[in-house]
Structure 1
Amino acid sequence: MANEKNVADQEEVIEEVITDADVEVVDGAEATEEGETESVDESVQQIAELQAKLDETENKMLRAQADFDNFRRRSRLDQEAAQKYRAQSLATEILPALDNFERALQIEADNEQTKSLLQGMNMVYNQLVQALQNEGVEAIKTVGEQFDPHLHQAVMQVEDGNYESNTVVDELQKGYKLKDRVIRPAMVKVNQ
């Protein structure tokens, strides 16, 4: 029995040592887990920061790409407009000379020399008109047309029973368009 008691005592001592060792191991594991938890928290935080930076960078890149696409589109549209209206400044400068030709051609010719001179001026006038038409410049229709403030500049108003209200009665100066852009509105008289 003494043997059994010694064995029982020894088993109790072993259990106590094991229990104490478990507590120490558990305490060490807890310490290790806390360190690992802190390390994991830092890693998660770093990952979140990096993800935020990545998202911000992607957003900046997408905006830059959109800005570049818009710039490229605007540049293309500007180039097309510049090509389409390239003759505008030249046409604008030639129009007063064209007006003077028209006034000169309205003179009545008395003799052969004057008729010959008017015929030559008429030929030059027609060439200028043809050159402008080739570039897309055309005269704006006026007399008998409805008044359009985009095309016509009303200088006078008259009352004429032969025309409807708000109709162009007379043209004082020709207006011109370059393709779909008005380069000079027509000066007109409008019926009330």
Structure 2
Amino acid sequence: MSEETKEQIIEEEIKQEETTCDSTEETVEKEESLEEKVARLEQQLKDSEDKYYRVHADFENIKKRLEKEKYQAIDFASEKFAKDLLAPIDSLEMALHSANAQLDAADLLVKLKEGIELTVKNFNTAFEKHNITKVETDGEFDPNVHNAVMKVDSENHETGQIVQELQKGYLLKDRLIRPAMVSISN
């Protein structure tokens, strides 16, 4: 073998070793980049889990707050109505106090009547504010809103007509609170 051939063989071996070293380095770089990629993905997963747990905790807190507010709304739903009933109770208390006044019987009776009329007016005002209306008892008997407790003979009314209202009935908007107690003609 000639010197040139030996040198060529040596050069080729060196090139192969360099190529092998380069591919080994590339493999190491690829492995490092894969490790980095896995680490990055694990961090993203951890961040996503953390974000999920925070959102879930916020949702649970909102749910609890809304539940609490719902029960408070139910508990205090009649607060406005209760406030509107304070005026009639005040009128009744004033009527009771006037009964203790040093007046003769006729004047006392007049004052008590005025107090009762004022109280009824205050109740009707409170009912109007809250859409509570009286059940009409003029005309035909309606079993949906009337409760017939007796039948009476009446020359002035046709059969099935309401003769007398014994107790008022009331509606809250369109819902019956209490039917009107009536007597109807035979």
Q: Does TM, normalized by the shorter one, top 0.5?
A: yes
Specify the alignment match of 1:158 in structure 2.
152
Aligned-residue CA RMSD (Å)? 4.4
Q: Percent of counterpart pairs with the same letter?
A: 19
Query: Runs ≥4 in structure 1, deviation > 6 angstroms?
Result: 176-185
Q: TM-score, normalised by structure 1?
A: 0.58
SS in 1 for 2:78: helix
d(CA) in 2 for partners of 1:39 and 1:14?
37
Q: Is the 8 A contact 1:170 1:189 kept in 2?
A: yes
Q: Is the 8 A contact 2:170 2:180 kept in 1?
A: no
Q: TM-score, normalised by structure 2?
A: 0.60
1:145 shift after superposition: 4.1
d(CA) in 1 for partners of 2:87 and 2:142?
24
Question: What 5-or-longer segments of structure 2 have no aligned partner?
Answer: 94-103, 126-133
Q: Deviations over 1:73-120 (max 9, x none)?
A: 5466432121234467x59x99xxxxxxxxxxxxxxxxxxxxx96x65
Q: Deviations over 1:19-72 (max 9, x none)?
A: 220232133224323422331332132122123213313323443454465456
Give the paired residue count: 166
d(CA) in 2 for partners of 1:142 and 1:79?
28
Question: What 5-or-longer segments of structure 1 have no aligned partner?
Answer: 95-115
Q: Is the 8 A contact 1:142 1:188 kept in 2?
A: no
1:151 shift after superposition: 6.4
1:1-192 equivalent positions in 2, closer than 5 A: 2=2, 4-64=4-64, 66-67=66-67, 70=70, 73-74=73-74, 77-86=77-86, 123-124=110-111, 126-137=113-124, 144-147=138-141, 152-171=146-165, 173-175=166-168, 187-192=181-186
